[in-house]
Amino acid sequence: MLFNVPMRNRISMHWNHSLWLIILVLSLSLQAGEHAISWRFDRDLIASGHYWLLISGHFVHLNWAHWGLNMAGLAIVAFFFSPYGNVVQWLFVTAVSAIFVGLGLYWLNPDVGTYVGLSGVLHGLFIYGAMRETRFYPASGYALLALLVAKLIWELMNGPLPGSEDLTEGRVITDAHFYGAVGGLVSALVLSRRTKGTST
């Protein structure tokens, strides 16, 4: 069922900010505790049965600069897109995007031994948010989708955006962004069908 999201509520507090706060506090505590090595995506450990590392690696980062960039992206999602779903819906998008990134890297990128960071999941959250945006603010929604798609195409063809690896002081796995975006797209389609199926 279509519902109205007034412009004045685009930047406001919502109950689902609790999800973003949990992610922030979790990643902050892990970063401060220097747990990146034990929580990161590690191909060899995953192959030996540590499957939880497919998900946990998204919550640890290379360094504080990497963490800060990812938290800035999460803040944008929180304050601009939160009205477009409840806690359960956003948790679903986050989980699906994380799974797509983890399994995508494990199955399709055998050259990636270890991986950390939330950026892949963030691309899923942004895709979902932009797709929801098109229902209420078509101009900004489609513009954002176009920018995201253009960014993904650039990265697939040319590698990381200029300067991104200097900021994080590490290798940027652009395929993770693509896998996360696909996860966000799949989530949006699933939730859209579910909404249509329950609306009257």
Question: CA end-to-end span of the chain, whole Å?
Answer: 7
Average pLDDT estimate for 27-38: 95
Within a domain: residue 1? no
Nearest to 114 by CA among 74, 62, 71: 62
Task: Assess if residue 3 is contained within a domain.
Answer: no
With respect to residue 176, please indicate whether it lies within any of the assigned structural domains.
yes
Q: What's the rounded mean pLDDT across residues 34-38?
A: 93
Residue 88 has pLDDT above 70, yes or no: yes
The chain-wide mean pLDDT, for the chain, equals 90
37-59 mean pLDDT: 97
- Whether residue 119 lies inside any domain: the answer is yes
Helices marked H in the chain: 17-32, 36-39, 43-47, 53-56, 64-81, 87-108, 119-136, 138-158, 164-168, 174-198
Confidence label for 162 from pLDDT (cuts 50, 70 and 90): confident
CA pair distance 198, 191, nearest whole angstrom: 11
Cβ atoms of 74 and 20 within 8 Å: the answer is: yes
Q: What percent of the chain has pLDDT over 70?
A: 90
Task: Using pLDDT thresholds of 50, 70 and 90, give the confidence band for residue 8.
Answer: very low
Query: Which whole number is the average pLDDT over 45-72?
Result: 97
Is residue 106 predicted with pLDDT exceeding 90?
A: yes
151: three-class secondary structure by DSSP: helix
Q: Is the pLDDT of residue 5 over 70?
A: no
Count of the separate structural domains present in the chain: 1
Question: Which region among 3-12, 122-131, 150-159 has the lowest average model confidence (pLDDT)?
Answer: 3-12
Looking at residue 25, what is its pLDDT?
96
Position 54 in a domain:
yes
Residues across the chain:
200
Whose structure tokens read 């209420």?
136
Closest-CA residue to 90 (of 200, 198, 188, 196): 188
pLDDT value at 189 more than 90? yes
pLDDT band at 143 (very low <50, low <70, confident <90, very high): very high
Q: In the predicted model, what is the mean pLDDT of residues 94-115? A: 98
Q: What is the CATH number of the domain that holds 181?
A: 1.20.1540.10
Confidence at residue 1, expressed as pLDDT on a 0 to 100 scale: 38
Residue-range definition of the domain harbouring residue 27: 8-198
- Domain-embedded: residue 171: yes
What's the predicted TM-score (pTM) here? 0.90
The tokens describing 151, both together, are 């960014």
Q: Vertex 6, ends 73 and 180: CA angle to 5°?
A: 30
Q: Is it the case that residue 7 has pLDDT exceeding 50? A: no
Distance between CA atoms of 12 and 15, rounded to whole angstroms?
A: 10
Residue 19 lies in a domain: yes
Residues 87-106 have a mean pLDDT of 97
pLDDT-above-90 percentage for the chain: 78
Position 2 in a domain: no
Give the position of tokens 């401060």: 32
**CA 77, CA 128: separation in Å to the nearest integer?**
10
190 C-beta neighbours (distance < 10 Å), count: 13
